[in-house]
């Protein structure tokens, strides 16, 4: 379970992500496209191309 606190930043990717990349690929998108460190405590949300699935990435 992910506990969202008032101080937590939530970053939502606007462009669809390729879910075949896995967690390492999503972390790379955080660093290179969104330009935020994936280990910063923020919550990252991604959707697939057909907008039928959502993935969340959060490091504790």
pTM: 0.88
Q: Is the pLDDT of residue 44 over 90?
A: yes
For the chain, the average pLDDT equals 93
When computed from its CA atoms, the radius of gyration of the chain, rounded to whole angstroms, is 11
Distance (Å, whole) CA 50 – CA 60: 29
Instruction: Give the pLDDT band (50/70/90) at residue 4.
Output: confident
The answer to whether the CB of 35 falls within 8 A of the CB of 9 is no
Extract the tokens encoding 43: 């919550």
Question: Mean pLDDT across the stretch 14-25?
Answer: 93
Q: Is the pLDDT of residue 3 over 90?
A: no
Question: Mean pLDDT across the stretch 29-56?
Answer: 94
């Amino acid at each position: 379970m992910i506990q969202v606190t008032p101080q937590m930043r939530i970053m939502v990717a606007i462009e669809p992500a390729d879910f075949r990349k896995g967690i390492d690929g999503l972390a790379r998108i955080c660093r290179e496209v969104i330009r935020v460190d994936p280990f910063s405590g923020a919550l990252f949300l991604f959707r697939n191309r057909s907008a039928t699935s959502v993935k969340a990435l959060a490091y504790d």
